[in-house]
Structure 1
């Protein structure tokens, strides 16, 4: 079965296509790429999440890199994607690899590629690795370097273990005002969803309770380790009934954040983005360009226009945001799926860091997350949002996209005022919009809508579904 790369690397079913043989092949292809990058002589970092066999897949990857003559820094325990990215940047390495399938179900694993600047590898670089993988699938080179044991590489110091979590914790302590959070005496409940964020938040917060904070590769009781409202039922119930000030959740590799308010309601990533943007600009007095994907709330557009802040909109995918963060001064950048990066940190999504920054905001403002969210409606007017992922045949998918491409004049009873084809098809109406785009990896269409009422959001989505 061919190895299919997505936006940030390769994911597959464990023991089906994600096998030791295929991991070794991809690792060798990645090594051939990283050997040609800046700081190749300083080596590469390899980390892994909490999934079944992730540590062993990481060891295989490390051995393949070492066999290709690269120095390897291998994490000595489960590590989050941001911890690996941070290590790549601070150690000035050629890049990094994380064995993780992010928010996919437990039966999946993956191979994420990281750049030396401390963020996702550029799409063009991932394509180069994919091209080498394709060539290796057809025919491996005749003379391949011998792959020695882990112990041999450790003895000759080609490979060394290090504590990525410890380095990360010390770094975060210098970036976030943990003292202000401590003084606020928030009752916080954190849910790492059995992912790579386990046993990290308690090293940063004095008063924090946890659920799903142990190593459980089966993710028992969790369909998807993804911090969206539909997967955070237990966190929501406990926060709402046990007097917690906030619930924070991170996904399988801890680069995305989910937030539950004190009443148990889910605070979506649009509101989290706007709250952190305002805090960085107004209270932290930071300056820079704002970057957002096309599917993120227009509250961002309104705020940037009002404050004369440069705004860049990108297609969906954090890779576009990270590329901007690596090349210019970005105040904050993010997407609707819960991933965002800030000027305070590396050009990477980070659920734990952003959760702590949100706690700092609450502490400094002396307000609950629910109150802060309600104040956004006072400032920008009501904004409601919903996304639907609709599985369908390729024929049906093509037909809908063809109709969207031809242009629409109305969505339900609402006249279309303008359209965008930056990524998919986005149609604007008064106080609302609908975006239709195809998934790059699954047989489905994604429908996104924002408007000034729940009813209007549903009408826009229904109009899109009925094309």
Structure 2
């Protein structure tokens, strides 16, 4: 069975490909890779796990293999968020981190995320070497959990205290407390449960946590903080007369928000609002990194503040690479993975929720008012995406045709540039854009658009689907 690491780890269906046998094989390949490439071979490996079915048992299975390979393991005592594990890697000077999670994917999936010594996702070259080791694995080494625990090769700990100590250096909890906000925290049954509730309560907020109990089926939803899965949060904010709702995905590396009226606030606005706050109020400067499918508001703000801007393919690993190489103030993507300088180079929904609260307290304004101010400054922006399941097609040929035969106008707007960094993106005269991007892992065509009105977004999406259909069918 081929096991392949995507942009952020290996994911598969539990009981089909994600089995104890395969998990142990992957753990052995990671062990072989680390023993050959680690700069600090005596440093430990940090391991965490989410709330999915058998995640804790899979984490123990991985730990048993690493311990059998003479690699010291620090294993979380309970389910924990991926950014907490990533920070623990740094704080404990570990050589790597492993997280058992399928992030925002449906409940039937599980996965393994591999973190490097900086807490960032392992690069494609690093995971390629793990896959190379995997092809050579015949049988994993295993040391019984109880024996490894007794020998000190596996230790259990709670990573939250060191994360909380760090967060207090990155976020001003005293400022947050001055707002005396009423907050609804929604971890969506995921590994982010308890974090926002604990931190915001300590800061002086009144916090209601919903969907925080252990539920490996995620209540029948996908643990992804997008509008169609957040109706429970919207209702809770309205019913409890709260000031804001904050949602994190299955492993808490993504953020979504709801304003006091129960309106969904997408990551595009969260990214833009936070960037403006960091520069205007905290007086921070540095480069900004965004993926190709992220709002043009970031481009306008980077231009306003004269900040270097980098646009990458989809996937936070591309952002992390730049954050480890350059002086980057902030990086983020449309899915809600966002982080700032001084934190780990990976998305952190917990951090971003706290920064929103700090921002609201500083301005003395709610999220709805702050979004209105941003629209007044930059103009209105609306965003939508369509995912189209298709028959298999040549992705390379489609991208070539979309680029070479680009239309001069779409929906009455002049095309001013064409970008083929990841799929094909048409940028229009008014900063609207359309992105047609084949999935890298399945026969799915993703069509994204951002424009100045909801009607124009829908028109661009419709024309984008028609254009891609025509190009794939050779007409």
Q: Residue 466 of structure 2 corresponds to which residue in structure 1?
A: 466
* Matched ranges for 1:17-416 at <5 A: 17-35=17-35, 36-136=37-137, 140=138, 145=141, 147-206=142-201, 207-222=206-221, 224-395=222-393, 400-401=398-399, 403-409=401-407, 410-416=409-415
Give the whole-Å Cα distance in 1 for the aligned partners of 2:228 and 2:197: 25
Task: Note if contact 1:81-1:98 (Cα within 8 Å) is conserved in structure 2.
Answer: yes
Relative distance call for 1:462 and 1:396 in structure 2 (3 A) is farther
Task: Note if contact 1:40-1:93 (Cα within 8 Å) is conserved in structure 2.
Answer: no
Relative distance call for 1:177 and 1:404 in structure 2 (3 A) is same
CA drift of 1:171 comes to 2.1
CA drift of 1:4 comes to 2.8
Task: Note if contact 2:286-2:328 (Cα within 8 Å) is conserved in structure 1.
Answer: yes
Give the alignment's Cα RMSD to 1 decimal.
1.5
SS at match of 2:329: strand
Give the whole-Å Cα distance in 2 for the aligned partners of 1:314 and 1:60: 36
Structure 2 unaligned spans of 5+ = 468-475
Partner deviation per Cα, 1:316-338 (whole Å, 9 max, x = no partner): 11101111111222110011110
Aligned length: 460
CA drift of 1:401 comes to 4.0
Partner deviation per Cα, 1:29-52 (whole Å, 9 max, x = no partner): 011112222222112111100011
Partner deviation per Cα, 1:8-31 (whole Å, 9 max, x = no partner): 111011111000000000000011
Deviates more, 1:452-461 or 1:189-198: 452-461
Relative distance call for 1:25 and 1:302 in structure 2 (3 A) is same
SS at match of 1:418: strand
Give the whole-Å Cα distance in 2 for the aligned partners of 1:399 and 1:466: 17
Normalised to the residue count of structure 2, the TM-score between the two structures is 0.94
Q: Residue 3 of structure 1 corresponds to which residue in structure 2?
A: 3
Q: Residue 429 of structure 1 corresponds to which residue in structure 2?
A: 428
Residue 446 (structure 2) pairs with residue 446 (structure 1): yes
Task: Note if contact 1:181-1:359 (Cα within 8 Å) is conserved in structure 2.
Answer: yes
CA drift of 1:399 comes to 7.1
Normalised to the residue count of structure 1, the TM-score between the two structures is 0.95
Give the whole-Å Cα distance in 2 for the aligned partners of 1:315 and 1:452: 24
CA drift of 1:252 comes to 0.4
Partner deviation per Cα, 1:363-410 (whole Å, 9 max, x = no partner): 011011000001111101111111111111114977754541333123
Structure 1 unaligned spans of 5+ = none
Give the whole-Å Cα distance in 1 for the aligned partners of 2:383 and 2:200: 32
Task: Note if contact 1:256-1:339 (Cα within 8 Å) is conserved in structure 2.
Answer: yes
CA drift of 1:456 comes to 1.1
Give the whole-Å Cα distance in 2 for the aligned partners of 1:402 and 1:394: 16
Task: Note if contact 2:254-2:349 (Cα within 8 Å) is conserved in structure 1.
Answer: yes
Task: Note if contact 2:185-2:197 (Cα within 8 Å) is conserved in structure 1.
Answer: no
Task: Note if contact 2:116-2:122 (Cα within 8 Å) is conserved in structure 1.
Answer: yes
